[in-house]
C-alpha cells in the first residue's frame, strides 16, 4: 500500500511528466528539430523510470517486507514471484 508521502511524490513527478509530454506535442506542432524531440522523449522516459523506481521501492519496503515478516510461506512466495515478474518486465531497471 502506498503511503501519502509516496503518493504525493509520484503525483508531482507525473504532473511534471505530463507537462513534458505536452511540450513534446508542441514541439511536433512547431516542427522542432528531430534530435531535440528525441532528447525530450529520452527525458520523459527517464522521468517515468524515476516514478517506477519510487513505486517499486515503496512496494518492497511495505508489501514485500510485510509478506516476509508474516511467516506465511505462500505469501512470501507470491511476493517473490511478483518481484521476479516486475523485474523481467522492466528489464531490472
Q: Rounded distance, CA 93 to CA 49, Å?
A: 8
Tens of pLDDT, residues 2-60: 899 999 999 999 999 999 999 999 999 999 999 999 999 999 999 999 999 999 999 99
Tell which CATH classification among 1.20.58.1000, 3.40.1160.10, 3.10.20.30, 3.40.50.1860 matches the domain 4-89: 1.20.58.1000
Name the residue ranges covered by the structural domains of the chain: 4-89
How large is the angle between the packed helices 4-29 and 34-59, nearest 10 degrees? 170
- Tell me what pLDDT residue 47 has: 97
Residue 76 CB neighbour total at 10 angstroms: 15
In 3D, which of 46, 40, 1 has the Cα closest to residue 21? 40
Q: Rounded distance, CA 82 to CA 29, Å?
A: 41
Residue listed under C-alpha cell 507470491? 78
Amino acid at each position: 500500500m502506498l503511503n501519502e508521502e509516496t503518493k504525493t511524490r509520484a503525483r508531482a513527478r507525473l504532473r511534471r511528466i505530463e507537462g513534458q509530454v505536452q511540450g513534446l506535442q508542441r514541439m511536433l506542432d512547431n516542427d522542432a528539430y528531430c534530435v531535440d524531440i528525441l532528447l525530450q522523449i529520452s527525458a520523459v522516459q527517464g522521468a517515468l523510470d524515476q516514478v517506477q523506481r519510487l513505486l517499486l521501492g515503496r512496494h518492497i519496503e511495505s508489501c514485500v517486507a510485510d509478506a516476509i515478516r508474516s511467516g506465511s510461506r505462500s505469501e512470501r512466495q507470491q511476493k517473490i514471484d511478483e518481484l521476479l515478474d516486475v523485474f523481467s518486465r522492466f528489464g531490472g531497471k
